[in-house]
Amino acid sequence: MNMSTKTIKIQHEKFGVLLNETFVNPTQFKLFLKMVNGCLNNDEALTFFNGEDFLVNIPNKILKDSVITTNVDAYTLTDHILTKSKIEQPA
Protein backbone atom coordinates (compact mmCIF):
# COMPACT_ATOMS: atom_id res chain seq x y z
CA MET A 1 0.00 0.00 0.00
CA ASN A 2 1.54 3.29 -1.09
CA MET A 3 0.81 6.56 0.70
CA SER A 4 2.59 9.89 0.97
CA THR A 5 4.54 11.75 3.63
CA LYS A 6 4.42 15.49 3.95
CA THR A 7 7.46 17.33 5.25
CA ILE A 8 7.97 20.87 6.48
CA LYS A 9 11.48 22.26 6.79
CA ILE A 10 12.37 25.61 8.35
CA GLN A 11 15.92 26.80 7.67
CA HIS A 12 17.65 29.92 8.93
CA GLU A 13 20.79 31.39 7.40
CA LYS A 14 22.57 31.77 10.75
CA PHE A 15 21.08 28.91 12.81
CA GLY A 16 20.68 26.22 10.14
CA VAL A 17 17.75 23.79 10.16
CA LEU A 18 15.34 24.85 12.90
CA LEU A 19 12.63 22.30 12.13
CA ASN A 20 12.46 19.27 9.84
CA GLU A 21 9.29 17.34 10.57
CA THR A 22 7.52 14.65 8.54
CA PHE A 23 3.78 13.95 8.77
CA VAL A 24 1.82 10.93 7.58
CA ASN A 25 -1.57 12.34 8.58
CA PRO A 26 -2.62 15.00 6.03
CA THR A 27 -4.95 16.69 8.53
CA GLN A 28 -2.17 17.10 11.10
CA PHE A 29 0.09 18.51 8.39
CA LYS A 30 -2.56 21.00 7.27
CA LEU A 31 -3.17 22.13 10.86
CA PHE A 32 0.57 22.57 11.48
CA LEU A 33 0.93 24.63 8.27
CA LYS A 34 -2.00 26.80 9.33
CA MET A 35 -0.31 27.34 12.69
CA VAL A 36 2.96 28.37 11.01
CA ASN A 37 1.09 30.69 8.64
CA GLY A 38 -0.84 32.20 11.55
CA CYS A 39 2.39 32.88 13.42
CA LEU A 40 3.85 34.62 10.36
CA ASN A 41 0.74 36.74 9.77
CA ASN A 42 0.10 37.68 13.41
CA ASP A 43 3.71 38.37 14.45
CA GLU A 44 3.66 35.52 16.99
CA ALA A 45 6.41 33.09 17.94
CA LEU A 46 5.99 29.54 16.62
CA THR A 47 5.52 27.56 19.82
CA PHE A 48 4.33 23.96 19.90
CA PHE A 49 4.47 21.15 22.48
CA ASN A 50 2.88 17.74 21.86
CA GLY A 51 2.55 17.07 25.59
CA GLU A 52 5.23 14.39 25.70
CA ASP A 53 8.53 14.69 23.86
CA PHE A 54 8.43 17.35 21.15
CA LEU A 55 8.81 21.07 21.87
CA VAL A 56 9.62 23.86 19.41
CA ASN A 57 9.83 27.60 20.06
CA ILE A 58 10.97 29.84 17.22
CA PRO A 59 10.76 33.60 17.85
CA ASN A 60 8.83 35.48 15.18
CA LYS A 61 11.81 37.53 13.95
CA ILE A 62 13.81 34.34 13.33
CA LEU A 63 10.77 32.62 11.77
CA LYS A 64 10.26 35.52 9.34
CA ASP A 65 13.95 35.46 8.38
CA SER A 66 13.79 31.72 7.65
CA VAL A 67 13.12 29.80 4.47
CA ILE A 68 10.12 27.49 4.88
CA THR A 69 9.64 24.64 2.42
CA THR A 70 7.24 21.72 2.19
CA ASN A 71 7.53 18.45 0.31
CA VAL A 72 5.41 15.39 -0.47
CA ASP A 73 7.02 11.94 -0.92
CA ALA A 74 5.54 8.50 -1.58
CA TYR A 75 6.17 5.74 0.95
CA THR A 76 5.04 2.25 1.93
CA LEU A 77 3.19 1.03 5.01
CA THR A 78 6.48 -0.21 6.50
CA ASP A 79 7.95 3.27 6.16
CA HIS A 80 4.85 4.64 7.90
CA ILE A 81 5.50 2.58 11.03
CA LEU A 82 9.15 3.64 11.12
CA THR A 83 8.79 7.37 10.40
CA LYS A 84 5.66 8.54 12.20
CA SER A 85 6.01 12.13 13.37
CA LYS A 86 6.58 12.91 17.05
CA ILE A 87 3.87 15.53 16.71
CA GLU A 88 1.36 12.88 15.66
CA GLN A 89 2.18 10.47 18.51
CA PRO A 90 -0.69 10.02 20.94
CA ALA A 91 -0.07 11.51 24.39
Beta bridge partner(s), residue 19: 10
Task: Assess contact for 45 and 57: CB atoms under 8 A.
Answer: yes
Which secondary structure element, helix H or strand E, spans residue 83, and what is its range? Answer: helix 77-83
C-alpha–C-alpha distance, residues 45 and 36, integer Å: 9
Q: For 41-91, what is each residue's pLDDT tens digit? A: 999 999 999 888 889 999 999 999 999 999 998 876 676 666 666 666 665
Q: What is the pLDDT of residues 52-62, one digit of tens each?
A: 888 999 999 99
Domain boundaries, the chain: 2-83
User: How far apart are the C-alpha atoms of 17 and 76, rounded to whole Å?
Assistant: 26
What is the amino acid identity at position 25?
N
